[in-house]
Structure 1
Amino acid sequence: MTDISGRIAGRLRALRQGRGWSLDRAAQATGVSKAMLGQIERGESSPTVATLWKIAAGFETSFSALLEDAPQGEGMLLRSSAGGDWPTDDGSIQVRSLFPYDPALGIEFFVIELQPGACHQSVPHAAGVTEHVIPVSGSLEVCVDGRWQAVARGEGLRFAADRPHAYRNGGSAPVLFHNLIHYRHSQAAPCGPGSGAL
């Protein structure tokens, strides 16, 4: 079992047990099969980005809280996204955490790289969740409610993420972009051992 698989396994188990849910109930809430959830909890399977989003949405928790502890302390906090790759589906998208979910602020911040020709579909997040997308290099397209919007370097796009949305790179080079996700404070329940769901 890799370190990341072990962290995900422990947090998923704590989330499920904190709610008193069976694997069947968790499967109904997340849309992830009972068999797959069991494999993840036992550390036998490393879930993809899409699967992790389904789990986070079903449990109404943040994506990064499934993998990382919230930042501690106040004042300045310097972090690097280097070496922080998270599970990817097929190598077409690379997700790194710059700032994991902070319950005091209700946000998490990612650095995402989308390969040429890639299109990544995202499941709807909980009601009221907002995303902010800011390209750092290149240009990408974001689809919300079936409408594609081009977003170039130097621009930013904010949208309601509680509906199906997607990211697409139609260029010939990878696109690097920042993704800030804002949750209502009552939405993203902590995932640590012994934590309950809000």
Structure 2
Amino acid sequence: MSANDIRRAIAERLKACRKEREMSLDKAALLTGVSKAMLGQIERGESAPTIATLWKIAGGLNLSFSSFFAGKAGSDFRQVPFPYDADMAIRVVFPFDAATHMEMFEVTLSNRYHQRSPAHRFGVVEHVVAVSGVLDLIHEGRVHRLKPGLAHRFHADVAHQYRAASDTVVFQAIICYT
């Protein structure tokens, strides 16, 4: 999936969601905390959101993160490039499943990237497992250093951060929605 493909997929999903719910851009902006102008630019494919902005949109509209770019179940899920987050790549391992209320990603952070993630909607729990490199997972004022094989579970309805403590880090994240 190219950067243009991801931009188009996000634009189409955002438009479809608003149309299904008969929701104005003003209402979407109010729910997501993302400006009406930015939402319009995203819908028209003029701008690609950062990962943090996409999480705000997903949370505000009560959508899963993977719903913006994951194909149908059984698709070949490659890493998704985010134009404004060049040092962070996400691969959907399992897209959101309505029966389990879960989705799973493999995340790669390069060049000691530091991702700040806004709070997700209430009740969201993340399970993070380090695969390679060293990851600093920061939430509620504490740093949890994860080396390969180590895991941490936390309530993601508070702001949190992922920081590569080595040049490159790969970790898996299972997101559970309530």
Q: Would you say same fold, with TM above 0.5?
A: yes
SS of equivalent residue, structure 1 residue 35? helix
Determine which structure has more spread, i.e. the larger CA radius of gyration.
1
Q: Does the 8 Å contact 1:30/1:57 carry over to 2?
A: yes
Structure 1 position 117, deviation (Å): 2.5
Q: 1:157, 1:55 → 2: CA distance?
A: 25
In structure 1, runs of 5+ residues without a counterpart are 72-76, 185-198
Counterpart position of 2:150: 155
Counterpart position of 1:94: 89
**Greater RCO, 1 or 2 (C-alpha within 8 Å, sep 6+):** 1
Q: Does the 8 Å contact 2:48/2:83 carry over to 1?
A: no
Name which of 166, 174, 177 aligns with 1:180.
174
Name which of 170, 179, 188 aligns with 2:165.
170
Structure 1 position 59, deviation (Å): 0.6
Q: 1:129, 1:28 → 2: CA distance?
A: 21
Match status 1:117 vs 2:112? yes
Counterpart position of 2:133: 138
The one-letter amino acid paired with 1:33 is S
Q: Does the 8 Å contact 1:137/1:177 carry over to 2?
A: yes
Identity %: 44
Structure 1 position 58, deviation (Å): 0.8
Name which of 45, 64, 71 aligns with 1:62.
64
Counterpart position of 2:34: 32
Q: 2:131, 2:85 → 1: CA distance?
A: 22
Structure 1 position 11, deviation (Å): 1.1
Cα RMSD after superposing both structures: 1.8
Q: 2:44, 2:24 → 1: CA distance?
A: 15
How many matched pairs? 176
SS of equivalent residue, structure 2 residue 171? strand
In structure 2, runs of 5+ residues without a counterpart are none
Q: Does the 8 Å contact 1:86/1:96 carry over to 2?
A: no
The one-letter amino acid paired with 1:165 is H
The one-letter amino acid paired with 2:32 is T
Q: Does the 8 Å contact 2:6/2:80 carry over to 1?
A: no
Per the normalisation by structure 2, the TM-score is 0.90
Larger CA deviation: 55-64 vs 84-93: 84-93
Distance 1:151 1:88, change over 3 A: farther
